[in-house]
């Protein structure tokens, strides 16, 4: 298992109803494909060795014994394969016939898991041939000449990778109010395998997809769902081979309807384990029913990934979802600010407008808030405060933006105030150090705070989540406000939200917003270059925000160690950043993230938007004097491995 990933497969072979020999050969073809692909768990369809639609042929002992022999043959043929294999067959034991999954590994049958719930509605009449397994506990039966465990309360744990633990249910088991997979997960299963034979009707694929996604999400698990395919009888039904692999509420991959063959993806069982630890109520419902845990050893490392690793984890991947998500975020920000303005009785909202991304988004949110309150935008006081580093482009955009949005615009140059402050504290204006830069930020905050007092207003903070993570804010300067609307919105999402609003608003505002989007990110605290353009470029100093947002998401949301974060970053950014660049900014992220915690320990209130926030009152509580040594030591290991010539 490489960094928590296990490679799983779902395969629907081409079959012929009741032709066990043919079906066995087709099954072995899929097994060989899966083994070549490095699959560690392969799930086959329900009753796939004989065919789900055998109907009254299930009453023929010859068919049942042929299936048992087929399992012997499959076990023998796959003895050299390290993967855990789950195949569906009818099993006759205790004088009854059960619909079962048989677990095979390294040439041995490990266990037999019977189906608990049998459908008897519409075209399904499983209870005509099979009995449901209603007992608790695990018995033993003789199958394929070996005594093996028989029952539902069975888990398979990979001895090499203990977080990889598999529970099994069959088709209808998932569709009932209390699926067996609930108990499996509560007893430690991180991956649920479902051998299914659901037929296809209009709308069922969407419902099936939703069900699998939902179950993987509520159980914080991986879910491998394998369905019977087109080889089944079409006397009254048709089967589509709709296979799905899900993880924690999302579909990793799925097959096209009415196809056969193998689909493969990787499930991150480390991520699932982290999610369960974070969800304090997860194990509250665990019962005392004993489970039998059967070891197997896949002896396989998942070295390559086929699944998508999003480079922008905070931005929706599906374009269809983006507008809906943007609208929701902007509404959340506006509703939160609306409440704060009402509670404080504030007449105005005071905001510093720089012509940059963050203050632009904050102004757009304030305008939405005033629309909700039925207030005139003239009660929004936008202040631009040009100083030593202000460029013509940003000043022009800030003024045009305020004019177009019909807010009360004020231009307050602060160069004289800053120079007086330099004289007061004995700062040489020619010395372009941190005092030179931060004095400007603090004077700007002073202007905003005092204007808010004067105008019965609230200072609206503009800083974003990415800046908080890196500590890229002047303490008691732009670090401080009376309410911070962007505090849990990372920079990559800020860009998207401004872009969304540009398209939605259209016209002159769209042109202004698009120019803001095209402007280099900068605090503009150092003088422009000889051409009057921005000289102080934030991403040249602290690193690309798309990298830092990626690091932030994986470090805070999932708790991944530096080696895994780097491993994922190579997949997400391999075509855009060289390894030395990734390592440089990864080191910088950890260094700044730890060293700048003291700034986050006293940030203003701000609405929580997503699953990652750094508010000390909500999701992130970290001592300001915590050491980064452990994390940086792992970064150094990576540097020695990748950068040593």
Q: Which residues are catalytic?
A: 46, 115, 171
Helix residue ranges, H only, 37-145: 61-77
Rg, C-alpha atoms of the chain? 30
- Pairwise CA distance, residues 608 & 486, whole Å: 9
CB contact at 8 A, 3 and 270: yes
Dump the DSSP string for 506-540.
Answer: -HHHHHHHHHHHTSPP----S---TTSS----HHH
- Pairwise CA distance, residues 51 & 18, whole Å: 6
CB contact at 8 A, 612 and 465: yes
Structure token digits, residue 104: 């095979």
Q: How does DSSP classify residue 166?
A: E
Structure token digits, residue 279: 């969800």
CB contact at 8 A, 73 and 256: no
SS3 282: helix
CB contact at 8 A, 152 and 180: yes
Which strands, in side-by-side order, build the sheet including 457-461?
408-411, 380-384, 348-352, 457-461, 483-484
Residues 6+ apart with CB under 8 A from 7: 37, 38, 39, 40, 41, 264, 265, 266, 300, 302
Structure token digits, residue 606: 């701000």
Structure token digits, residue 195: 């051998």
Q: Which helix (H) or strand (E) holds 575?
A: none
Q: Which is it for strands 222-226 and 244-247: parallel, antiparallel or unpaired?
A: antiparallel
In Å, how far are 272, 352, 439, 454, 591 from 475, measured between CA atoms? 37, 16, 10, 23, 18
Residues 6+ apart with CB under 8 A from 295: 156, 157, 158, 159
């Amino acid at each position: 298992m490489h960094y928590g990933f296990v490679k799983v497969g779902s395969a629907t072979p081409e079959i012929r109803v009741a032709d066990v020999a043919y079906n066995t050969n087709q099954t072995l073809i899929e097994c060989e494909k899966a083994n070549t692909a490095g699959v560690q768990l392969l799930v086959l369809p329900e009753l796939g060795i004989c065919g789900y639609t055998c109907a009254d042929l299930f009453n023929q002992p010859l068919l049942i014994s042929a299936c048992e022999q087929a399992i012997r043959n499959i076990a023998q043929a796959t003895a050299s394969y390290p993967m855990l294999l789950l195949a569906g067959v009818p099993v006759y034991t205790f004088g009854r016939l059960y619909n079962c999954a048989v677990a095979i590994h390294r040439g041995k049958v490990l266990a037999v898991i019977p189906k608990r719930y049998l459908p008897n509605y519409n075209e399904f009449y499983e209870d005509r041939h099979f009995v449901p397994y209603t007992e608790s506990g695990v018995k033993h039966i003789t199958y394929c000449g070996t005594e093996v465990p028989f029952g539902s309360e069975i888990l398979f744990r990979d001895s090499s990778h203990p977080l990889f633990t598999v529970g099994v249910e069959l088709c209808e088991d998932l569709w009932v109010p209390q699926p067996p997979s609930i108990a499996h997960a509560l007893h430690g299963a991180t991956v649920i395998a479902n051998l299914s034979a659901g037929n296809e009707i209009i709308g069922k694929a969407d419902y099936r997809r939703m069900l699998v996604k939902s179950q993987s999400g509520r159980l914080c698990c991986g879910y491998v769902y394998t369905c019977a395919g087109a080889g089944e009888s079409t006397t009254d039904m048709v089967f589509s081979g709709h296979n799905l692999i899900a993880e924690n509420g999302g579909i990793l991959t799925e097959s096209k309807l009415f196809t056969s063959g193998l689909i493969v993806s990787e499930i991150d069982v480390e991520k699932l384990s982290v999610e369960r630890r974070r969800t304090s109520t997860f194990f509250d419902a665990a019962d005392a029913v004993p489970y039998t845990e059967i070891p197997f050893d896949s002896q396989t490392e998942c070295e390559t990934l086929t699944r998508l690793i999003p480079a922008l984890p905070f931005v929706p991947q599906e374009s269809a979802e983006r507008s809906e998500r943007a609208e929701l975020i902007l509404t959340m920000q506006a509703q939160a600010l609306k409440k704060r303005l009402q509670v404080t009785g504030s007449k105005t909202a005071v905001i510093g407008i720089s012509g940059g991304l963050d203050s632009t988004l904050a102004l757009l949110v304030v305008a939405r808030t005033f629309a909700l309150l039925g207030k005139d935008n003239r009660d929004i006081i936008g202040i631009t405060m040009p100083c030593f580093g202000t460029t013509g482009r940003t000043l022009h955009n800030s003024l045009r933006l305020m004019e177009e949005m019909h807010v009360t615009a004020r231009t307050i140059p602060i160069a004289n105030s800053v120079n007086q402050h330099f004289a007061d504290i004995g700062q040489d204006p020619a010395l372009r150090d941190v005092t030179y830069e931060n004095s400007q930020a603090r004077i700007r905050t002073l202007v905003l705070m005092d204007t808010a007092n004067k105008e019965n207003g609230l200072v609206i903070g503009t800083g974003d989540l990415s800046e908080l993570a890196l500590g890229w804010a002047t303490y008691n300067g732009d670090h401080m406000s009376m309410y911070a609307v962007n505090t849990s919105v990372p920079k990559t999402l800020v860009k998207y939200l401004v872009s969304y609003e540009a398209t939605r608003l259209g016209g002159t505002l769209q042109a202004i917003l698009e120019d803001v989007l095209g402007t280099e990110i900068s605090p503009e605290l150092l003088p422009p270059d000889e051409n009057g353009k921005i000289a102080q470029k934030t991403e040249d100093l602290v690193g690309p925000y798309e990298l830092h947002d990626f690091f932030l998401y994986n470090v805070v949301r999932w708790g991944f160690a530096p080696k895994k974060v780097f491993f994922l970053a190579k997949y997400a950014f391999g075509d855009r950043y060289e390894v030395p660049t990734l390592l440089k900014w990864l080191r910088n992220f950890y260094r700044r993230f730890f060293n700048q915690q003291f700034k986050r320990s006293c940030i203003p209130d701000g609405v929580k938007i997503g699953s990652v926030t750094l508010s000390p009152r909500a999701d992130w509580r970290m001592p300001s004097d915590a050491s980064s040594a452990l994390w940086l030591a792992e970064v150094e290991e990576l540097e020695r491995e990748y950068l040593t010539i």
